[in-house]
Amino acid sequence: MLSETLSQELESYRIGPRIKSLRLKKKLGLVQLGEHTGLSPAMLSKIERGQLFPTLPTLVRIALVFGVGLDHFFNMDGPRIAVTRKNERVRLPIPAAASPASYLFESLDYPLANRRMVAFLAIFPDGGPPSEPHQHGAEELVYVLEGSLSVTVGDVESTLAEGDAIAFDSSAPHSYRQKGTGDCKALVVTFD
């Protein structure tokens, strides 16, 4: 049984509808396609309706009938969409071995392939140490959802309260530090 995350990722490729489209263009019925592939019409119907995901050998059989490569089924035509469910996110501490961590983050967009931005929910725990200065990518945006956060970019320190945002060149060394009392939560988006 596939997890909901894997099922959603596979559904985003719309393999079943792509197979059905190829079959209808060739004016083949499910029985005829089954004769060419050695697969039952019932199995093919389930695949086309997204009730069953084909294995790679099964997909190769189908691709051979239509004279297409496997890339035909994995080329993302149309909008790229990824849903990340709250209960499926993994919370990772930074640094990994620290206790307490400087901050914890949950990726909000990990299922989206070939993304140009990366979005996180960051939790800066009350009493946690400042993060180590680091640098990456081209730009970063931090939007404070709750609490207070100090962001240092180069030699400039800015304190942000709930509802405040900062955007900066993330190729410059920067660090974060929870301020005040209580945890701080922020949306962090980085761009390459």
What is the DSSP track for 154-175? TTEEEEEETT-EEEE-TTS-EE
Where in the chain are the domains? 4-74, 87-191
Q: Per-residue pLDDT tens, the chain, 192 aa: give them.
A: 677 777 777 787 789 988 998 888 888 899 999 988 999 999 999 999 988 999 999 999 999 988 888 888 887 666 667 788 888 888 888 888 778 889 999 989 877 766 788 899 999 999 899 999 999 878 999 999 999 999 999 999 999 999 999 999 999 999 999 999 999 999 999 987
The two counts, helices (H) then strands (E), for the chain are 6, 9
Nearest to 118 by CA among 189, 61, 51: 189
What's the CATH class of domain 4-74?
mainly alpha
User: What does the alpha-carbon distance between residue 180 and residue 21 come to, in Å, rounded to a whole number?
Assistant: 58
What's the CATH class of domain 87-191?
mainly beta
